[in-house]
Structure 1
Amino acid sequence: MRFQPIKQFNTILQQEYLEPTISWSIRVVLALNVPLIVFPLFSGFSYHIIWAAFSAYMLTLIDYRGSHYKKMLIQMVEAFLILIAAILGMNIGNSVALSVIGMLVIGVFAALIRNWSDYGSTIGVGVGFFYLFGISNPTSFTESLVYGKYILFGAVWAIAIIFLSFPFSASNPLRRSVATIWKRNTDYLDALIEQFLKPAAKADLLKITAKEIEIRSAVDKSIELFNRRSEDSRFQAEHYDQMIEIRKSAAYFGASIKLLHEELESIKNEPVLLQNQSIFYKTLSALSQASARLSIVIFTFRGEDLTMAKVRIKRFEIAAGILKKNLQHQELSEDHKLILNQFIVSLNQCQQFMENTIRLMDQKLSFKRSNYFENYKLSFNHFIAGLQPRVLFQVVREIFNFDSQQFKYALRVGLGLALSVFIFKFFKIDHGHWIALTLLIVIQPYYGATRKKGFERIIGTIAGILVGGTIMLLPIKHETFVVILIFISFFVAYYLRNNYKVGVFFVTIMLVVMMQLSKQGSWELIWWRVLSTLIGSALAIVISFAFWPIWEKQRFPALLNSSLNQNLFFLNQVILSYQKKLPPGITWHKSRRLSEAANNNLFACIQRMYEEPQAHQRQIDIHFAKVGSNIRISREITSLAFALEKETSGKLEQVLNEYMEAIQIIFYRFIQQQKEMDFKPVKTVIQNPVFEENEQFQAIQVDLEKIVFELEALKAFRG
């Protein structure tokens, strides 16, 4: 058994391949602390330097996982926005009315930016922070330009850090996104093993569904950052194209795991599973270990890791062979034979996708390393191509639709921030801008998330105040405080990604230390900070509850209809693909992605519903059951798609046409919320004698029956 600390250290290193939190934290440390150390060497320490440090800090916090080109462009945009916000704040800070109006506008703008993307939150908070920093330090226009100069110094330093890190992480973003998909596949497999093959494990449907959903999220995130090149692209990017193919194999591997999940569900608690539990466990464990090895080798590109991955895949092949041989010598019912045959088919598909990945990796290792840099050119050009007037017009139109949830959320944030600035300015609260800043950080589009984050921020702030205040009372030199700040800023960046409550704890300590560095620290000021946090968090929770709250029970019906609609479209595309009626270049794969994305949205709705007040959680268990049925429908259609790809006789064309005609009527009745549904026509189609010709047709028949069964379950849930 390995020594536990070494095992934990290895886990951290492997995680760093996929989520480079440590390297990101180091960049944040450099961004914040270099200005605090370098500037005083030339001009002595001044309050202006704090602005440069915070500027670099905010820009480096941008959590964008794509190319360096785009990240630098995003940083430039944020630098311009925070510069304008800071100068505006400093010039109107003496007027309560103008400060409140400015905060309303800035708040709405920041909230709209926040919802654009994962990194939009950092930009929105940065703009709001520097506006609040500005109205807290009102000054003349000339002096505000001096502060603006230091903001730009910090921005240049933050962009320089990204530029200088480019040679050390060439090709990492795309590889990391693909490796993450394999890691999510592994996590899902581990959850299946725990759910079905460990008797002592407690069933947790929410957890295992979340693991399934995470695969689609990882695939979508990778596609969002890195698209497939067009065939007429003028770039020769062999590395890029190979990674896109590896991503495709990873996505198909994930789809095959979902089919394994479906078959395990079918034999759960059955004697055949209980009697063969050990061999099932060894087989799926070997599959999980092979998947985990692939996630590592895709990022590291080391020959020894590739060898280990090949060994793991061979071990899985042996384990799967033993399972197949054992099952062949057992007396099983016809139903169990069919289910287990599909299970073996899905295992074989998993092996094919892993071997295909290994083959692509072998080819990729033989390419010239100079091609590593091409994917950044491609990513940048994809980004520029995305800035089309038509697309931008659609985004702007959606944002400023007064009935949209985005606009209501933005208005809620703007009104809350305006109220908090009024309290701060009217009552002349010392450093009262922390009220508005806390509200800006805590308030989320959904009430449950706001309440959770508010309580976490209160706990983290109070704990941080106690520790930070104790540090402030120690007889420590200025240089020692800088050293402390270096370590604390690392933990801030690291834990804000991994544990928000702990991250807030270190943020609070960092702010206390920075106040001490700027000679503004006192216990009175610290307790004002605690009070401001309490007021800001309370305001965020109250405003989220009182002003146009978004309750998930109201959103659920529309999301359910969207999921049903996408599943129907997916099924139709699969059948048209079998009949060779799809247009050239069109496959069912995109419709599967859309179907799973709709299921993701539906599941996320349920997750947020669990965080809402009890009064808004009516029928939550029934809603969750409906989500499960939709996800299983998507799984069955995927299974059907793989099965039909292997069927080349064309004998099922007519019966599939009849099936589609009958089942789409049921889907439409669900979407239109009609009560009367007749399942007899579609069940009659499924009993067509053509399905009895061979085992392959029987497996397809089972997939069609399971889709109907889940629709019947949905009808039963409706009561």
Structure 2
Amino acid sequence: MVISFIGGYLNISNYLLFPILGFLTFSIAFISIYGFRASLISFSGLLALVLSFAHTSENLEVYQYALFIGIGGIWYLLLSTLWFQLNPKAQTEEALNETFILTADFLDTRRQLIGEQPDRDSLQTQLMTLQSALTEHHQTLREILILSRKSSGKSNYQSRRLLVFVQLVEMLETAVANPVNYDKMDLLFKEHPEFKTDFQKLISEFSHQLRSIAENINKSKLFPSNKVLYDAFKMLEHDILKFKNENHIEDYERYLMLQNLLDYQKKQFEKLKKIKWLLGNPELTSDDFIKNDKLKRFIDSQDYNPKLILRNLSFRSTIFRHSLRLAVAVMLGYGIGLFFDFQNPYWIILTVIVIMRPSYGLTKTRSKDRIIGTLIGAAIASGLVFTINNPYIYGALGVLSLVVAFSMVQKNYKASATFITLSVIFIYAILQPDILKVIQFRVIDTLIGAALSYMAMRWLWPAWSFMEIGDSIKDSLKANTAFFKSISTYYQKKGIVPTSLKVNRKEAFLQTSNLSSAFQRMAQEPESKQNHIDDIYELVVINHSFLSSLASLSTYIQSHVTTEASENFILISEKINDNLDKVCSQLKAINFENPYTNVSIFKPEPFNFPINSITTDVISQTDSERTHKEAHLIWEQLYWLFSLSEKMLKLTAKFKVD
């Protein structure tokens, strides 16, 4: 409302208009330093600024126009609050439904990775993308459930949904967990393809049941039966036992590997059964509730300190560069519109603020989608205008197109741009008889706005991802290190699972997801700006593999009674921590902007990892199969973590330092 009021009085000399327009654009865009919610307010302000150029004072004075904008905002706030009171569960149910679907997709992709695959790299990339999306949904759902519980107190509904969410988070961790490395699994499944088929069918059934639960989330009677899963487990147990009896001791390690893999699937089954039970609306006891003091640690509060403004007034800040870039593009766009005397020059700057994003890849994609969508919309509108000449139909089509456009803006921007164009053209068709001229200028303005956005993003203070990818790698590694230290400490001390372990797990998944997103942005940028992309991709994959191994350890030690931690476990854990600390130190000094690498080959300190002797000793000292499985999994994972930490040391040593 304030911006609409200010913008309404910008009918001044161009000598003053352009610097004021640039300053206002920069200031409004700069609000985004305060996080996602601030970025929405920023976009609303930019939209209000642009639309104030469309207002003429023939019917309403500027203060009246701004007042109506404010009243409209209050009306929508009241309407959305009323709708929430009438249907308070809608947001939770939608977010939960999407999380179920994404979890099912993630499991399905993991299923495809079982056994030797010709396109494993593409599947791994797809898996990382899904994991990033799933982690974002977890963040959203976590906020919805925890904040609503804080505001409305404990309720059976919210507590049940929160417990369902906890099971879904643990399902992700268990799905990420891998009891052995893929090379050993590939060899086993190649020789015994029946196990590959059995495990794939089992995971496929998990995926199918999650989708079915999502479709019937409030109809527990329609949930699929557990019988199919029970039968699948019986078949697998029978085949694994037969494998043990036929192959005896020479393949005992493979037998342990299969048993550990089966145990992970059984844990998934337990979580699935608990989800079904919780969605069946049981009456919970006080012991079932999660205490609020624990929940607070899972929510990250936004820093609204005014000093954040001063800290970001620098070219090192991505938001600062974006705000400056946007301000210049808006001034240029409006100047072009005035110079060529376009019908609605503000359409150019409207296109600029809608398309331009801090990320090059997203701006490029949105520019392309916006142009294609506008051209399709203009073609459809031209055809309809020739066949329809009724202002009431134009009005109905305009409103309908606008509703469809807003509903699709997050899922399919190209389709959304098509319907926005249709809506604008139909609304203008009511006001102006020469509709073809409106269509013509709409297309031209969109082309100019999209071209300006792309060129500004490409050449005006660009913030290439390779300049920031080091921080993302470092943050992910720090989170993984903290998670590993929590696991190591818990394995040594035992007892109740500390909340700190779960918080560190959440942070590790979140930072690994952020790293994947940062790399995807880098991969969308020009090849000349993709410094060290192969080595960085390897670091991203290693971080994901590291998290997978940590998830294996975390899931196992939380769900099994484990033996006392040996001196070797403590020694090797310290060695892995030492490697990770060295990698972090190297990352701080690396200059990713330097396209060259070191010629010398890094040689890590010699360390004799006694994996085979430890596993053999444990097997020979006891007849307990449970202890054998523990020794096999723990030492396999420790060896894998140690190998990955050594790989990271070698990789980071290749980069030039400042």
Alignment pair present for 1:702 and 2:628: no
Alignment pair present for 1:108 and 2:26: yes
Question: Does structure 2 retain, via aligned residues, the 8 Å contact 1:256–1:346?
Answer: yes
- For 1:454, the equivalent position in structure 2 comes to 367
Within 5 A, what are the aligned runs for 1:24-63? none
Q: Give the stretch that moved more between structures: 218-227 or 348-357.
A: 218-227
1:469-494 residue CA offsets vs partner (Å, 9 max, x unmatched): 33334442221112222332232123
Would the alpha carbon gap of residues 515 and 327 (structure 1) be closer, same or farther in structure 2, given more than 3 Å must change?
same
1:354-374 residue CA offsets vs partner (Å, 9 max, x unmatched): 222233333x35479xxxxxx
Would the alpha carbon gap of residues 264 and 170 (structure 1) be closer, same or farther in structure 2, given more than 3 Å must change?
farther
Would the alpha carbon gap of residues 256 and 679 (structure 1) be closer, same or farther in structure 2, given more than 3 Å must change?
farther
User: Which residue of the other structure, out of 175, 200, 218, is the alignment partner of 1:281?
Assistant: 200
Question: Does structure 2 retain, via aligned residues, the 8 Å contact 1:87–1:148?
Answer: yes
Would the alpha carbon gap of residues 386 and 119 (structure 1) be closer, same or farther in structure 2, given more than 3 Å must change?
closer
Query: What amino acid is aligned across from residue 255 of structure 1 in structure 2?
Result: E
Within 5 A, what are the aligned runs for 1:312-391? 313-330=226-243, 331=246, 333-362=251-280, 364-366=281-283, 391=304
- For 2:578, the equivalent position in structure 1 comes to 665
| Structure 2 unmatched ranges of 5 or more | 286-291, 588-600, 622-626
1:643-670 residue CA offsets vs partner (Å, 9 max, x unmatched): 2235656521533322232112211222
Question: Does structure 1 retain, via aligned residues, the 8 Å contact 2:479–2:508?
Answer: yes
Alignment pair present for 1:580 and 2:493: yes
User: Which residue of the other structure, out of 119, 141, 157, is the alignment partner of 1:239?
Assistant: 157
Alignment pair present for 1:158 and 2:76: yes
- For 2:591, the equivalent position in structure 1 comes to none
- In 2: Cα distance, 1:608 partner to 1:699 partner: 36
Question: Does structure 1 retain, via aligned residues, the 8 Å contact 2:34–2:304?
Answer: no
- Shift of the alpha carbon at 1:717? 4.5
Alignment pair present for 1:125 and 2:10: no
Alignment pair present for 1:302 and 2:219: yes
1:663-708 residue CA offsets vs partner (Å, 9 max, x unmatched): 1221122222297553543725885577555311221111101112
- Shift of the alpha carbon at 1:452? 1.4
Question: Does structure 2 retain, via aligned residues, the 8 Å contact 1:491–1:503?
Answer: yes
Would the alpha carbon gap of residues 603 and 679 (structure 1) be closer, same or farther in structure 2, given more than 3 Å must change?
farther
- Shift of the alpha carbon at 1:437? 1.0
Question: Does structure 2 retain, via aligned residues, the 8 Å contact 1:197–1:280?
Answer: no
- In 2: Cα distance, 1:104 partner to 1:316 partner: 62
- For 1:181, the equivalent position in structure 2 comes to 99
Within 5 A, what are the aligned runs for 1:550-699? 550-580=463-493, 586-646=499-559, 648=561, 651-652=564-565, 654-673=567-586, 676=602, 678=604, 680-681=606-607, 683-684=609-610, 688=614, 692=619, 694-695=627-628, 696-699=630-633
- For 1:22, the equivalent position in structure 2 comes to none
TM-score normalised by the chain length of structure 1: 0.78
Question: Does structure 2 retain, via aligned residues, the 8 Å contact 1:86–1:131?
Answer: yes
Q: What is the RMSD computed on CA atoms of the aligned residues?
A: 3.4
- For 2:624, the equivalent position in structure 1 comes to none
Would the alpha carbon gap of residues 123 and 520 (structure 1) be closer, same or farther in structure 2, given more than 3 Å must change?
farther
Would the alpha carbon gap of residues 291 and 426 (structure 1) be closer, same or farther in structure 2, given more than 3 Å must change?
same
1:87-146 residue CA offsets vs partner (Å, 9 max, x unmatched): 211211233234323322332234234565556555433322221222344549971122
- Shift of the alpha carbon at 1:609? 1.9
- For 2:10, the equivalent position in structure 1 comes to 92
Alignment pair present for 1:513 and 2:426: yes
- In 1: Cα distance, 2:152 partner to 2:524 partner: 50
Would the alpha carbon gap of residues 273 and 528 (structure 1) be closer, same or farther in structure 2, given more than 3 Å must change?
farther
Would the alpha carbon gap of residues 659 and 450 (structure 1) be closer, same or farther in structure 2, given more than 3 Å must change?
same
What count of residue pairs does the alignment treat as equivalent?
616
- Shift of the alpha carbon at 1:715? 4.4
- In 1: Cα distance, 2:613 partner to 2:559 partner: 21
1:369-417 residue CA offsets vs partner (Å, 9 max, x unmatched): xxxxxxxxx9xx99xx9989x7444654554455322222222212222
Query: What amino acid is aligned across from residue 514 of structure 2 in structure 1?
Result: N
- Shift of the alpha carbon at 1:458? 1.1
Question: Does structure 2 retain, via aligned residues, the 8 Å contact 1:461–1:505?
Answer: yes
Alignment pair present for 1:222 and 2:141: yes
Question: Does structure 2 retain, via aligned residues, the 8 Å contact 1:96–1:426?
Answer: no
- For 1:711, the equivalent position in structure 2 comes to 645
Query: What amino acid is aligned across from residue 641 of structure 2 in structure 1?
Result: I
- In 2: Cα distance, 1:606 partner to 1:158 partner: 38
- For 2:413, the equivalent position in structure 1 comes to 500
- In 1: Cα distance, 2:179 partner to 2:415 partner: 35
- In 2: Cα distance, 1:603 partner to 1:339 partner: 29
- For 1:531, the equivalent position in structure 2 comes to 444
Question: Does structure 2 retain, via aligned residues, the 8 Å contact 1:100–1:419?
Answer: no
Would the alpha carbon gap of residues 180 and 687 (structure 1) be closer, same or farther in structure 2, given more than 3 Å must change?
farther
Question: Does structure 2 retain, via aligned residues, the 8 Å contact 1:262–1:635?
Answer: no
- In 1: Cα distance, 2:494 partner to 2:232 partner: 40
- For 1:77, the equivalent position in structure 2 comes to none
Would the alpha carbon gap of residues 473 and 90 (structure 1) be closer, same or farther in structure 2, given more than 3 Å must change?
farther
1:221-250 residue CA offsets vs partner (Å, 9 max, x unmatched): 22233327999x993423222222221111
- In 1: Cα distance, 2:124 partner to 2:559 partner: 32
SS of corresponding position for 2:410: helix
1:616-646 residue CA offsets vs partner (Å, 9 max, x unmatched): 2344333222211111111111211222235
Query: What amino acid is aligned across from residue 170 of structure 1 in structure 2?
Result: P
Would the alpha carbon gap of residues 366 and 646 (structure 1) be closer, same or farther in structure 2, given more than 3 Å must change?
closer
Query: What amino acid is aligned across from residue 700 of structure 1 in structure 2?
Result: I
1:502-529 residue CA offsets vs partner (Å, 9 max, x unmatched): 1101111111111112236532332222
- Shift of the alpha carbon at 1:534? 1.3
Query: What amino acid is aligned across from residue 545 of structure 2 in structure 1?
Result: R
- In 1: Cα distance, 2:427 partner to 2:565 partner: 72
- In 1: Cα distance, 2:496 partner to 2:271 partner: 26
Would the alpha carbon gap of residues 207 and 387 (structure 1) be closer, same or farther in structure 2, given more than 3 Å must change?
closer
Would the alpha carbon gap of residues 653 and 176 (structure 1) be closer, same or farther in structure 2, given more than 3 Å must change?
farther
TM-score normalised by the chain length of structure 2: 0.84
Would the alpha carbon gap of residues 432 and 86 (structure 1) be closer, same or farther in structure 2, given more than 3 Å must change?
same
- For 1:430, the equivalent position in structure 2 comes to 343
SS of corresponding position for 1:92: coil
Query: What amino acid is aligned across from residue 361 of structure 1 in structure 2?
Result: L
1:61-96 residue CA offsets vs partner (Å, 9 max, x unmatched): xxxxxxxxxxxxxxxxxxxxxx22222112112332
Would the alpha carbon gap of residues 531 and 248 (structure 1) be closer, same or farther in structure 2, given more than 3 Å must change?
same
Q: Give the stretch that moved more between structures: 472-481 or 534-543.
A: 472-481
SS of corresponding position for 1:587: helix
- For 1:412, the equivalent position in structure 2 comes to 325
Question: Does structure 2 retain, via aligned residues, the 8 Å contact 1:576–1:582?
Answer: no
- In 1: Cα distance, 2:90 partner to 2:181 partner: 36
Would the alpha carbon gap of residues 635 and 676 (structure 1) be closer, same or farther in structure 2, given more than 3 Å must change?
same
Query: What amino acid is aligned across from residue 704 of structure 1 in structure 2?
Result: L
1:9-49 residue CA offsets vs partner (Å, 9 max, x unmatched): xxxxxxxxxxxxxxxxxxxxxxxxxxxxxxxxxxxxxxxxx
Would the alpha carbon gap of residues 281 and 623 (structure 1) be closer, same or farther in structure 2, given more than 3 Å must change?
same
- For 1:6, the equivalent position in structure 2 comes to none
- For 1:21, the equivalent position in structure 2 comes to none
